[in-house]
Amino acid sequence: MEKPDILIVEDDESIRTQMKWALVHDYNVFIAADAEKAMEIIGTTHPALVTLDLGLPPDAEGTSVGLDLLYRIVKTDPMTKVVVVSGNAERNSALEAVNEGAHDYFSKPVDIDELKAILKRAYYVHTLETEYRALQSQVESDSFGELVGASPEIQEVFNIVRKVATTDVPVLITGDSGTGKELVARAIHNNSTRRDHPFIPINCGAIPEALMESELFGHEKGSFTGAHVQRRGKVELAHKGTLFFDEIGELPLQLQVKLLRFLQDQKVERIGGRTIIETDVRIIAATNTDIKNQVANEQFREDLYYRLAVVHLELPSLKARGDDVLLLANVFLSRFSDKDSVPMVFSKQAQSAIMEHEWPGNVRELENRIRRAVTFASGTTVTPTDLGFETSGPGMKTLNLKAAKEELEIDLIGIVMEKHNGNISKAAEELGLTRPTLYSLMKKHSIKQ
């Protein structure tokens, strides 16, 4: 393993030599007797660690030169970990140095074992921060809005998004549940000329059929029982923006006819109204069902399908995206962990568990597992157990009874909610729960409707 670089800034030659020979086995050691030589070395080698004596010439009896050098080092390279060396009489100055950006301090006379322990800990923090910054850079280069990935499969999705975003053609997004269909739809909208106008989603499976027409096209006051005020529909609200139909395969046939008519002329008429309202709306639709099979079985209108699928974009499963799973796991870990503390990392076993798992729930399942791991982790390192996996064996099943119960709850709720397209009442009935209990469990596990 390549040894890290360390710079010893010390004007006392005997102490310099002692520290150099104590550390040369573990580090590439550079030495400087004054501030200017120190800055010269920092500018060329960018060492991971610096030990800094505060008493440097021309103020060897004071701390002004050392504190000024600390400020210059931190400003030049914030990643460098500076460990201040001070006499007992300079303890207040050492604490001031820590407040100004030094990583730690220790007192003279130098205790080599103590020094090595402090430097080892400082280098560990430096390594974590370096990895975190590298991850952030990778995310920036391998992302498209909220979409993240470096695999050829997701990069092809990014390419299609870039192309269709500059047009107004309808797009049909298909893929398994949890693959990020709404994120893709938002990416298309946010990179289009309509980005400054509304993005209006509507879940076709979560709204009762009796209310869907009103939800889409709006109604006039008094048009039916309960219509106490005039209400604009989703289509009107999306004027000049994008209307996103999630789970379009669940749209009732009667409303498919009305949607087709709207797509032909972009005009709507509220329920109970007589005024024709012209709109300018882009349509993006998504489904996790085999919509071509629905067309073949006459469950979905063929003419509407071809209207919606001018561009058909199919999203890959998370398992098919290779190393993206680990990249996404690190993104979620950074997002959910405490930003003000030492960055959290995955153990080697946890990384293996993440790569080996099948991820039937795709990105959504990964997100929930990482959120769980941040809650359960006892330190800054995430283990397979924190993720709900056992530490060995194929399949990585949960052994802990409490964790297994929570995992089962998450899986069952997800499956039943998808089956009933987000309908809380039907899902609660099948699960044998009351609606409030189901809501409570969904909130507990951060399960989105």
Per-residue pLDDT tens digits for 112-150: 888 899 999 899 888 887 876 665 555 444 556 678 888
Nearest in space to 251 (alpha carbons), one of 201, 293, 208, 200 = 208
Q: What is the pLDDT of residue 62?
A: 81
Strand pairing class (5-9; 49-53): parallel
Per-residue pLDDT tens digits for 7-56: 999 988 888 899 999 999 999 999 999 999 999 999 999 999 999 988 88
Q: What is the pLDDT of residue 341?
A: 66
User: Which helix (H) or strand (E) segment is 394 a member of?
Assistant: none
Per-residue pLDDT tens digits for 216-255: 998 888 777 777 888 888 999 999 999 999 999 999 998 9
Q: What is the pLDDT of residue 433?
A: 84
Per-residue pLDDT tens digits for 282-307: 999 999 999 999 999 999 999 999 99
Confidence check: pLDDT of 99 > 50: yes
Residues 6+ apart with CB under 8 A from 180: 147, 315, 362, 363
Per-residue pLDDT tens digits for 357-372: 999 999 999 999 999 8
- The residue written with tokens 């549940």 in the block is 177
Count other C-beta atoms under 10 Å from residue 137's C-beta: 10
User: Quick check: do 147-314 and 319-444 share a fold?
Assistant: no
Alpha-carbon distance of 310 to 287, in angstroms, equals 15
Residues 6+ apart with CB under 8 A from 408: none
Confidence check: pLDDT of 174 > 90: yes
Q: How confident is the model at residue 89 (pLDDT cuts 50, 70, 90)?
A: low
Q: What is the pLDDT of residue 127?
A: 87
Would you say 54 and 84 are in contact if contact means Cβ atoms under 8 Å apart?
A: yes
- Reduce the secondary structure of 40-77 to three states and give it as a string: HHHHHHCCCEEEEECCCCCCCCCCHHHHHHHHHHHHHC
State the fold for domain 5-140.
Answer: Rossmann fold (3.40.50)
Q: Residue 45: phi, psi to the nearest 5?
A: -110, -20
Nearest in space to 31 (alpha carbons), one of 44, 17, 46, 43 = 17
Q: Where are the domains of the chain?
A: 5-140, 147-314, 319-444
Alpha-carbon distance of 303 to 399, in angstroms, equals 51
Per-residue pLDDT tens digits for 323-364: 899 999 998 998 888 766 667 888 888 898 999 999 999 999
Q: What is the pLDDT of residue 404?
A: 63
Got the DSSP string for 233-261?
-HHHHTTTSEEEEETGGGS-HHHHHHHHH
Q: What is the pLDDT of residue 91?
A: 74
Q: How confident is the model at residue 449 (pLDDT cuts 50, 70, 90)?
A: low
Name the residue with higher pLDDT: 230 or 398.
Answer: 230
Name the residue with higher pLDDT: 214 or 418.
Answer: 214
Q: What is the pLDDT of residue 438?
A: 85
Q: What is the pLDDT of residue 399?
A: 46
Burial of 338 (0-12, 13-18, 19+ CB in 10 A): exposed
Confidence check: pLDDT of 395 > 50: no
State the fold for domain 319-444.
Answer: Helicase, Ruva Protein; domain 3 (1.10.8)
Would you say 388 and 370 are in contact if contact means Cβ atoms under 8 Å apart?
A: no
Q: What is the pLDDT of residue 88?
A: 59
Q: How confident is the model at residue 394 (pLDDT cuts 50, 70, 90)?
A: very low
Residues 6+ apart with CB under 8 A from 28: 3, 4, 5, 6
Q: What is the pLDDT of residue 325?
A: 94
Name the residue with higher pLDDT: 380 or 91.
Answer: 380
Share of the chain above pLDDT 70, in %: 91
Per-residue pLDDT tens digits for 257-291: 999 999 999 998 888 888 899 999 999 999 999 99
SS3 for 98? helix
Would you say 161 and 184 are in contact if contact means Cβ atoms under 8 Å apart?
A: yes
| Average pLDDT score, the chain | 86
State the Cα angle at 266 between 265 and 272, rounded to 5°: 105
Mean pLDDT for 418-443 is 82
Q: Strand pairing partners for 31?
A: 8
Count other C-beta atoms under 10 Å from residue 276's C-beta: 10
Q: What is the pLDDT of residue 284?
A: 97
R_g (Cα) of the chain, nearest Å: 30
Instruction: Please give the class, per CATH, of domain 147-314.
Output: alpha beta
